[in-house]
Amino acid sequence: MRAAGKISHVVMVLDRDVMIRHREKLNTLQYAADEVYLTDTHAKIYLCKYNGITVAAVTSANATNNLRHECFYITDGRPTKQLEDDIRTILGESYRII
């Protein structure tokens, strides 16, 4: 979609512990995303931007019994103000690696 010009910016927020165990995947991510953050949330957050529109997908594949946050949200339009605030908070507590 990026090559077709349908996406201009990609931000990924991923589980730090999982990515540390699978460091080899970080090499691929540098080509797929403009920004990559690692955090203590088990959710995977993808923000794609194009032409002033932001699309967010926030997913979690399982419900673990630990202190990580679990959530799921997908939109085909602009994220709500609350979601934008939540993502800003998560990014503020994350480690940017790309």
In a domain, 1, yes or no: no
3-state class of 31 per DSSP? helix
Q: Has residue 15 been placed in a domain?
A: yes
Give pLDDT tens digits along the chain (98 positions): 777 887 888 888 888 887 888 888 888 888 888 988 888 877 677 777 778 777 777 776 555 556 655 555 666 666 667 777 777 787 888 878 87
- Look up the pTM and report it: 0.66
- What distance in Å separates the CA atoms of residue 4 and residue 7, rounded to the nearest whole number? 8
Tally the domains of the chain: 1
Structural domain of residue 71, as residue ranges? 9-96
